[in-house]
A and B are shown apart, each in its own frame.
Chain A
Amino acid sequence: MLLLGLAACYEQPTAPGVCPDFCPGGQITVVDSVFTDVIQRDSAFSGYVEGFQGEALQVTDLPGVIDSRAIFRMNAMYTRVTNRVNDTTTYPITVDSAHLRINIVRRDTNATNLWVKLYRLPIDIDSTTTFAQLAPAFTDSIVDSVNLSDLLRRPKQFDTATIRIWGDTIQTDSAGHILEVGNVDSTLLLLFSLDTAKARFVVADSGKVAYGVRVSGDSLATIALGSVESDRGADIQWYFTFPDTAAVAKDSTAHRPAFFDSFVFNPPTPPLDSNLAVGGVPAARSLLRFAIPEILRDSADVVRATLVLIPVGPVPGIAADSFRVVARPIVTDLGAKSPLAINSPYTTSKIMHLNDADTVRIELTDLVRAWAQDTSAATALVLGQAPEAATYTQARFYSSRAPAFRPALHITFVRRYVFGTP
């Protein structure tokens, strides 16, 4: 009997339901509703990330729409060296050439006749430098240029070391440009061969040089360069000689990475207005606060929640420069300085396609479910761009101050099942 009692824990009670005659009286009811007034006190704030802090440097030429140029300044170089151990006597170096390497981390593969142009810039560029200030240098100080489309079509040079170890391929042209295509992520390493006229080593400037990059092409002329912040910044390798102990010139080289990099573009990101802004430079974010309806807290189970945002207009640009709009929950609501929930499993995103004014829908299901269950949670999120301050693009969405186009929450929920009745 004891065994029988223990066995009472086992059952196989599930049968197909033939409704309504042989199903319980309760029904699982799904309701789909657009809550237009749950988003309140939404605001946009700017200045989170500046251009020189971005993970990439946008270089784009779309006449009449955007002209974006990368700028960078290389670290100082030593100008004298010793030629003997434990000797304090130094000798001047004589630079004879240099290789400038830039990392193209994104491009439009459909671009045609894409030229990458290198310009010499003043070495005093910094984060306050504007597009207009550099316009003269970008006009008359071209150093070198390379047809990237043509270079990519050239036969691949198979260097045994790079092929065997990294699987990279190399393409070159007669002007000494070298293109290395990474096997891992298909980024392009482009090397310019610069003589002393192109890479002016000025001792008085401690060897500091600054360059700018523009692109042009028949279509889709856009690339993004890696930056110092992404560990893919520009790098210059100086080739020089110095006299050895026998007064014979001895060869040597030295790398100098970029000390500062950024990008400037025209027209600049417009100032904030009453709409919700996401992206641009400096990076803008929008804070959306949600008043979760009581029905979702005590009488329903959310199965899908979608944030509906109506763009003020299409974001102009080249399609390849489309970006992600990321919705991140916040830890606590401190307005513009609200700390974001880092590594939150509720973070979601949506690709914002350029030149497209369609409504943007971002799935927030898990976040809204968490809000419905946790009455102490800060029911707000921040919309941001990913990556921030790495592109000229900025999206603008109507805010709750535009009643006809205000953001909304489209929620599909299951009404609480009515138990206890036959």
Chain B
Amino acid sequence: MTRASGLFVILAALAIAAPARAQDSQFGLRGLGTPGRWESVRARSTGGAFAPFDAFSPLIEAPLGDVRRVSASANGGESWRTLDFGTESASLRATRFPAFMVAGPISQRLVLAGGFSTYLDKSFGITTRDTIDIRGTPEPVTDAVTSDGAVADLRIALAARVHNRLQLGFGLHGLTGSTRVKALRHFDDSTTYRTSTATDEIAYHGLGGSASALLSLSADLRLAAWARSDKRLRADIRGRTVADDDLPISYGGGVQWRPGTQAAVAAAVAWRRWGAAGSGSNAHDTFNWSVGTELGSAASPVRFGVRGGQLAFGPGPKAPTEFGISGGLGKQFSGGRGRLDFGLERLQRKGPGLNERVWTFLVGLTVRP
């Protein structure tokens, strides 16, 4: 199999790959969803600080110029989340498969990549109890609304080493996915009142584009900058458009410094204009930052990171905040042709009426056949 045909097969497989499914945050319930993290396990273990410099993080395209041979990477994880509403609390668990990517050089200076990641997670399930008055009689009811699915970001990216110190990247993003939704009302008096069930499948479509640059100021110091613009996200039910929401412009940058052969430090910032995109009354512009380090040899590094910032959706005029610490390690095998990355992340999110605490265990696999 040639390099090009191999890429084609993998990209075709991506087209039928199931989108990620998970429930990342209750704050996204009244918004478009919970924005995904465009980070590999390696980058996420550093709090996200290494994402602008990591070829296998779907955040930006320019680092793909570092890929010298066909490589593939997949990430997955499991999270345990505790919700504290003040009067109520709950514990949730989710398993997800949020990112996959394959990349390979198509010429000496050009690298082509494709893959998918989670753009908006839309899986959730909630139950509520209430008593309503029907025909003059109070009737206790239980409502359950569930959604299962996500909007995936299918990306085709091209990176070019235009100069020894400068790499540029461009990406075309197809936003697609679907959710199976169900709303159920169960009456305690099930002899008199039948359970009402409504189900549907919502299909999502959107487009976006991105550009990025990676500048090596010296052998030890790199700067990254990126920008991305996503168009409207259309939601269709049985061919009828039920929502057409603006998506944000995002941009950010980072710096990475290698003080030695076995140490790297990075910091990154990102802005996303969810509020300005008008994606609902409880959408907020967000600013996120992260700082992280990778220590040790390339064969078995240890990583640490810290992140902070805001969440895109939440009640009230101020955006909910997020703070997290993370760590992880990597291990190369087969003479560097494969690498396993493990990460553990602890997040705390705070907003009006809700505190979330999340433990996430991450695992990633990168192979270079």
**Which residues of A does B touch, CB under 8 Å?**
1, 4-5, 7-26, 28, 30, 32, 301-304, 363, 365-366, 369, 410, 412-414, 416-422
Do the beta carbons of A420 and B243 come within 8 Å of each other? yes
Q: Does B211 contact A (CB under 8 A)?
A: no
Given A9-B95, A14-B125, A22-B315, 14 new contacts (CB under 8 A): A8-B95, A12-B92, A13-B125, A16-B85, A21-B30, A22-B29, A23-B29, A23-B128, A23-B145, A24-B147, A28-B143, A28-B185, A301-B196, A419-B237
Bound together, the chains give a CA A15 to CA B26 distance in angstroms of 9
Q: Which residues of A contact B195 (CB under 8 A)?
A: 303
CB distance from B281 to the nearest CB of A (A): 9
Q: Known contacts A14-B125, A16-B85, A366-B194: does B237 contact A420 (CB below 8 Å)?
A: yes
Contact of A22 among B26, B125, B146 (CB under 8 A): B26
Stretch binding the partner chain, chosen from B197-205, B224-232, B298-306: B197-205
Contact of A14 among B20, B146, B280 (CB under 8 A): B146
Do the beta carbons of B198 and A15 come within 8 Å of each other? no
Within 8 A of A (CB), among B135-165: 135, 143-148
Contact of B23 among A13, A24, A304 (CB under 8 A): A13
What 1/0 mask marks residues of chain B from 81 to 116 whose CB sits below 8 Å from any chain A CB?
A: 001010110101111110000000000000000000
Q: Known contacts A12-B93, A365-B194: does B242 contact A421 (CB below 8 Å)?
A: yes
Q: Does B354 contact A (CB under 8 A)?
A: yes
Q: Does B173 contact A (CB under 8 A)?
A: no
Do the beta carbons of B93 and A412 come within 8 Å of each other? no
Within 8 A of A (CB), among B242-260: 242-243, 245
Q: Known contacts A16-B90, A22-B29, A32-B134: does B95 contact A4 (CB below 8 Å)?
A: yes
Q: Does B5 contact A (CB under 8 A)?
A: no
Q: Known contacts A366-B194, A419-B202: does B23 contact A4 (CB below 8 Å)?
A: no
**Which residues of B does A touch, CB under 8 Å?**
18, 20-23, 26-27, 29-32, 74, 76, 78, 83, 85, 87-88, 90, 92-97, 123-128, 132, 134-135, 143-148, 181, 183, 185, 187, 192-198, 200, 202, 235, 237, 242-243, 245, 279-280, 315, 352-354, 363, 365
Contact of B95 among A11, A19, A420 (CB under 8 A): A11
CB distance from B26 to the nearest CB of A (A): 5
Bound together, the chains give a CA A350 to CA B33 distance in angstroms of 50
Bound together, the chains give a CA A161 to CA B134 distance in angstroms of 57
Bound together, the chains give a CA A417 to CA B199 distance in angstroms of 9
Q: Known contacts A15-B26, A28-B183: does B85 contact A417 (CB below 8 Å)?
A: no
Bound together, the chains give a CA A417 to CA B185 distance in angstroms of 11
CB distance from B172 to the nearest CB of A (A): 26
Q: Which residues of B contact A416 (CB under 8 A)?
A: 198
Do the beta carbons of A369 and B92 come within 8 Å of each other? no
Do the beta carbons of A30 and B132 come within 8 Å of each other? yes
17 contacts between A and B (CB under 8 A): A1-B76, A7-B78, A11-B22, A15-B26, A17-B126, A17-B145, A21-B353, A23-B29, A26-B183, A28-B196, A30-B134, A32-B135, A303-B187, A417-B145, A417-B183, A421-B235, A422-B245
Do the beta carbons of A18 and B187 come within 8 Å of each other? no
Bound together, the chains give a CA A416 to CA B146 distance in angstroms of 15
The 3 lowest CB-CB distance pairs between A and B, nearest first, are: A17-B126, A420-B242, A14-B125
B200 nearest in chain A by CB position: A419
Q: Which residues of A contact B148 (CB under 8 A)?
A: 11, 13
CB distance from B135 to the nearest CB of A (A): 6
Q: Which residues of B contact A25 (CB under 8 A)?
A: 30
Do the beta carbons of B202 and A422 come within 8 Å of each other? no
Do the beta carbons of A15 and B126 come within 8 Å of each other? yes
Do the beta carbons of A422 and B30 come within 8 Å of each other? yes
Bound together, the chains give a CA A312 to CA B90 distance in angstroms of 57
Do the beta carbons of A23 and B76 come within 8 Å of each other? no
Q: Which residues of B contact A412 (CB under 8 A)?
A: 134-135, 193
**Residue in B22, B185, B197, B202 whose Cβ sees the most chain A Cβ within 10 Å:** B185
Do the beta carbons of A14 and B127 come within 8 Å of each other? yes
Q: Which residues of A contact B147 (CB under 8 A)?
A: 24
Q: Which residues of A contact B124 (CB under 8 A)?
A: 13, 15, 24
Bound together, the chains give a CA A375 to CA B188 distance in angstroms of 30
Bound together, the chains give a CA A271 to CA B303 distance in angstroms of 94
Bound together, the chains give a CA A414 to CA B186 distance in angstroms of 11
Bound together, the chains give a CA A303 to CA B196 distance in angstroms of 6
B128 nearest in chain A by CB position: A17
Contact of B85 among A4, A18, A302 (CB under 8 A): A18
CB distance from B27 to the nearest CB of A (A): 8
**Residue in A1, A15, A19, A363 whose Cβ sees the most chain B Cβ within 10 Å:** A15
Do the beta carbons of B243 and A11 come within 8 Å of each other? no
Do the beta carbons of B94 and A22 come within 8 Å of each other? no
Q: Which residues of A contact B76 (CB under 8 A)?
A: 1, 4-5, 8
Do the beta carbons of B126 and A23 come within 8 Å of each other? yes
**Residue in A11, A17, A303, A412 whose Cβ sees the most chain B Cβ within 10 Å:** A17
Bound together, the chains give a CA A116 to CA B35 distance in angstroms of 85
Bound together, the chains give a CA A299 to CA B131 distance in angstroms of 23
Bound together, the chains give a CA A166 to CA B97 distance in angstroms of 70
Do the beta carbons of A18 and B88 come within 8 Å of each other? yes
Bound together, the chains give a CA A412 to CA B185 distance in angstroms of 13
A302 nearest in chain B by CB position: B194
Q: Which residues of A contact B144 (CB under 8 A)?
A: 14
Do the beta carbons of A15 and B83 come within 8 Å of each other? yes
A305 nearest in chain B by CB position: B194
